[in-house]
Structure 1
Amino acid sequence: MSSRLKYRRRRNDKDDVKPLCDQPQRDTPEYLQKLIAQLYGVQQESLPAFTSSSEVDNELHALVGLFLRQFVLGWYNNLAFDENGEFLNEIVALIAHLTRDLQQRCLRIDWSRLLLDDLFVVLSKHMEALREARKRVGTKFSSQDENEITANYLSLNGHFAIQLDTPERERQYMQVLVKKMMILMLPNEEAESSLSRLFAETIFGDLILRNVVENLTDNFMLWNMIKAVSEASCRRPKTRRPLFEQVSAGSRQIGHIVAYCTSVFSSKPAPQTLVTRYAVFPFMNDLVHFSKRYPLVHVAVTTTAALLEKSEKFNHLCSNVLNNLVHNRILTSGTISSAVRALRHTMFPADENFNTTPRYVPQTTEELDEIKLNAKTAMDKVFSHPYLDTESFLDSFEHKTINKSLLWNILDLLLMNIFPELKDM
């Protein structure tokens, strides 16, 4: 472990119980620096970098520090006296190794293809299987089970870890998956240590992956997330601006388009799958029923696309634009740091103790219907109402077991891209 970047922690028993007072406004850089110094006993500059982004590191250092203080140092300090904080040094260095390795793996992924093609293939199969499962209800093709729609769906498009008659299979699959991932992520000396492997598997499996799967597969959670994303996308009010400002804004937009077409991603080879054939386009067509509402326009668009996709330059240009959109709008340091911050707020609401309060669960059908209606209203504000079939889209997340199967299919897709070695293991 001597090759890793270490730091010396100034031991102060009062740090563990000192309340956060006289702090700057929460989540500002000054606030995070004070919080990190309190958690680790050193300034952030002395800590090993978790990623290549200082913005993301600010949030990760705070979250990891709170987590270690709550779940690790609390019991370790009662077992051993560690004046120099060597145990904390080792844990932070190990986590830094894992996060940097994960970042390097993510940089090798074609995120445009993954997010706009592969992901929408999974979503399209989900929607098709759910429609077929509902059609089979009450027929001889339906599964004879109490949860008829769910059983039909699992027989058509279910993840093999989700079984109605063997619920323990999901837990077994998660354990095997996490064990294989830790073998690939941990450095050799930690991979050979049963204690280090168990520690990493517990953090990633029991405290992260299991909670993500259990919490994000509730229908009200997904509807609330859809509502939040829809509201965020139309948050900017449309105001009438002077002509000069409109011309300046238009010039900036043209500059963005030129940059998206000619920037760094133009050096990458065109993808094997034509961009015009990405699964996102037929998925959106089915969602807004564009081909049924405007058949002539749909024929004209598809014919034009079929002619243009024969041009290698056109495919390269489209690939370049999508790559820039994904990396400059979605996979940004701000987006990732916001996600880490939201996780910290959920786990440690006051940046002190872990949140043990049970999350709110709708108790009545009326409450559940209201959450769904709010999500539908938010989506209708983004897209004009008759053009988007929001009802069927939101209905597809109604059943928790079906949501679990969908989420595991998405997680498998993501993890197989991050860890391609899993295919051979």
Structure 2
Amino acid sequence: MPSKQESLDGVMDQETARAAPRGHARTKSNISIGSNNPSRPKHNRSKSTKKLDSVYSDEATIAFIKRTLCAPQLAGPEGSRARNIHKPLSELLPPLTSSNQVDLQIYALISIIIKDFVHAWYSRITPDQDFTDQVVHIIAHCTRALEQRIRAVDLEALILDELPELINLHVTAYRTAYNGSYTSSLVADPREIYHAINPHPALTPVPFESGSLASLDQAENEAVWRQLLIQGVLSHVLPPEDLNNPPLRVLVTEIFSELIIGRGVCGNICEGWFICDLIAKLLAILRPPEPDVQQQPPTSPNRLEQFGLLADDSDDAEEAPTVTSRSPVDFISKAFWQIMQYAFLAFMTIRAFFTALSDAASLPPRANSREDSTHDELDDSGSLCQQSTHDSIKRPILGMSLWSCCSHLISLDLQMPWLTTMGAYIQWLMICSSWKVGYTNSRLDRLLSHHIQTKILDPSRLPSILLLIRTNMFPNNSLGPGRVPPTPSEALAIKTKCATAIIAAIPPVVVKQVFAGAGEEEVHRRVEDMLDAFGDAYLNKHLIVGIVDLVIVKLFPELAEQSISSILKKEDGQ
């Protein structure tokens, strides 16, 4: 006799199969972005792509979530079960965020964790689903609290200023470690040099060999760091009655610390090939979709050409003698039209720029951050001065660390120091001089902030990013063995693909100016050399751990004011 779960799976599979012929639109999976042409006919798609679409489509995802998290609602009488099957998730499960599409992807991740981490042992004890419902409601409470805190975070400063600063420090420490290890006859290990420059208690001591005593000590310190971090976060997002429930708190702590941070964030994400693959896919998501180019029908020939009344230009071209020299009139005419084209292009560019600046006058000003923070700013003399204010002024977009990070990544300060110096001088003129064209809340600053908010920080891109995370961390909606690490040749191919995606995302004019005089192969080689800074998994873990610490402190500034142990003691005392 089939079990309750098997019969429930059969009902959901039959319902999904019946829903497909009715014309329900299947959502195209975003995992193949950048690899499949959207204008390609459907019958040319490979079987593997169709299989992935069937696994990660919205209909299949909803069916998987209902099978895993809504078993009590779907295990009732026949009439109520049929009604619950057709109900949307918003009526069966508590909301996680303010977006249904984001909730769908987050619930898919929760379903994978509950299925493989909770049901694997809890179903052997009892068939009761109340414990699973409690875990889901606790996670929903945490996500709603996190959403409120995310709304209060300055995402512009976090993504364009603070995260690039961490990347800049990582690249500097990496180059110092690998370049400085050859300056002495007693060669030191680059990992040890890097860790001395950029230390972290969770990554101590340096594991020189896998399986050694130092490696085991480092893994233990990393596990303790994850536990303390998640416990400090849960102390601010969990309700008091759930926080005082030790079994529930331990289970949620294990889910977040071991599965999400331990297995996901500090796992394959730290590998160099994974970072290259992730960069390529993110660039594919951020790039605007290519328009569908439909095949135009062949144009009918002109009636004069049809009856042979027009001369054939190809025959004339073959019979005409090759002209090896041009007259001065032709040279002057060509130069004149080139000058006119460049002048028209410059006029249209300047016109569009000033039109955009005039429209930026109606844009709202950027709100000042309400945190007590210290900023390094340039005074009129060009020296750095520190200002600490209660209502600190946001840094202008042109003064953020993103630009210096990009310059450092491509070694522009070493290849073209004059260009770096000129860029820094222009930056100073636009921000700190009497012009203040790019100062905070100027028209240019508001215009740049508006485009960043609408094109880069667009919330509609979040479901695609969550789907990308799910497909990479949990292939086929299961923990499983994960992605098989590629061979060295496959990792090199992934890095080459990432370099191609980076070059394609940069305007050709910028590529031509930055890599002046370099051919296509040389440009690819330089970009691949830039990606070598993310080739060591242990060094990348310093960067990932630093990013996690930064994000947690931004979301929970209380953790920066006092230690996690003192917070937990206060909660236990209450």
Same fold (TM over 0.5): yes
**Of 380, 384, 387, which residue of structure 1 is paired with 2:514?**
387
TM superposition shift of 1:188: 0.5
User: What does residue 382 of structure 2 align with?
Assistant: none
Matching residue within 399, 420, 429 for 1:277: 399
Query: Does the Cα contact within 8 Å between 2:430 and 2:438 map onto a contact in 1?
Result: no
Equivalence for 1:3: none
Match of 1:305 among 430, 436, 441: 430
- Is residue 2:484 matched to residue 1:360? yes
**1:55: which partner in 2?**
101
Query: How far apart are residue 307 of structure 1 and its match?
Result: 4.5
1:419 matched to 2:556: yes
- Structure 1 residues 171 and 274: CA distance shift in structure 2, 3 A: same
- In the alignment, the residues of structure 1 paired with residue 231 and residue 223 of structure 2 have an alpha-carbon distance, to the nearest angstrom, of 12
- Structure 1 residues 255, 373: closer, same or farther in 2, change over 3 A? same
Aligned residues: 398
Please give the alpha-carbon distance, in whole angstroms, between the structure 1 residues aligned to 2:462 and 2:537: 27
Structure 1 residues 421 and 143: CA distance shift in structure 2, 3 A: farther
- The aligned residue for residue 462 of structure 2 is 336
Aligned partner of 1:315 among 400, 419, 440: 440
Instruction: Decide whether the 8 Å contact of 1:178 with 1:201 is kept in 2.
Output: yes
Is 1:159 matched up with 2:200?
A: yes
The match for 2:257 among 201, 205, 214 is: 205
Unaligned runs of 5+ in 1: 1-10, 241-250
Which residue number in structure 2 is paired with residue 15 of structure 1?
8
In the alignment, what sits opposite 1:174?
A: 226
Deviation of the 1:226 alpha carbon: 2.3
Change (3 A) 1:360 1:36: closer
Comparing 154-163 with 225-234, which one deviates more in the overlay? 225-234
Query: What does residue 115 of structure 2 align with?
Result: 69
User: Taking structure 1 as reference, are residues 345 and 136 closer, same or farther at Cα in structure 2, changes over 3 Å only?
Assistant: closer
Higher relative contact order (CA 8 A, sep 6+): 1
Query: 1:126 maps to which residue?
Result: 170
Cα–Cα, structure 1 residues 309 and 141, in superposed 2: closer, same or farther, change >3 Å?
A: farther
Match of 1:104 in 2: 148
Structure 2 Cα separation of the partners of residues 302 and 142 of structure 1: 43
Deviation at 1:175, TM superposition (A): 1.8
Give 3-state SS (helix, strand or coil) of 1:121's partner.
helix
Instruction: Give yes or no for contact 1:55–1:333 (8 Å, CA) kept in 2.
Output: no
Q: Which residues of structure 2 form unaligned runs of 5+?
A: 21-25, 27-53, 75-83, 207-213, 294-350, 370-391, 516-525, 564-574
Which structure's CA Rg is the greater one? 2
The corresponding residue for 1:45 is 90
Q: Deviations over 1:367-387 (max 9, x none)?
A: 332322222232223332672
* Greater displacement, 98-107 / 18-27: 18-27
SS at match of 1:396: helix
Measured in 1, the distance between the counterparts of 2:251 and 2:90 equals 26
Cα displacement (A) at 1:176 = 1.7
Instruction: Report the residue type matching 1:375 in the other structure.
Output: C
Matched, 1:373 2:496: yes
Q: Distance in 1 between matches of 2:434 and 2:160?
A: 17
CA drift at 1:412: 0.9
> 2: CA distance between counterparts of 1:313 and 1:375?
32
Q: Is the 8 A contact 1:266 1:316 kept in 2?
A: yes
Paired-residue identity, %: 22
Q: How far 1:113 moved relative to its partner?
A: 0.9
Corresponding position of 1:149: 190
Task: Give CA deviations for 1:97-150 in whole Å, capped at 9, x if unaligned.
Answer: 010011111111111111111111111111111121122213349774xxx111
What one-letter code is carried by the residue in structure 2 that aligns with 1:336? L
CA distance in 1, matches of 2:117, 2:203: 30
User: Residue 406 of structure 1 aligns with which residue?
Assistant: 543
Measured in 1, the distance between the counterparts of 2:431 and 2:527 equals: 29
In structure 2, which of residues 521, 534, 540 is the aligned counterpart of residue 397 of structure 1?
534
TM-score, L = length of structure 1: 0.80
Matches within 5 A, 1:148-297: 148-163=189-204, 164=206, 165=214, 166-167=217-218, 168-211=220-263, 212-232=265-285, 236=289, 262-264=362-364, 266=366, 271-288=393-410, 289=412, 292=417, 294=419, 297=422
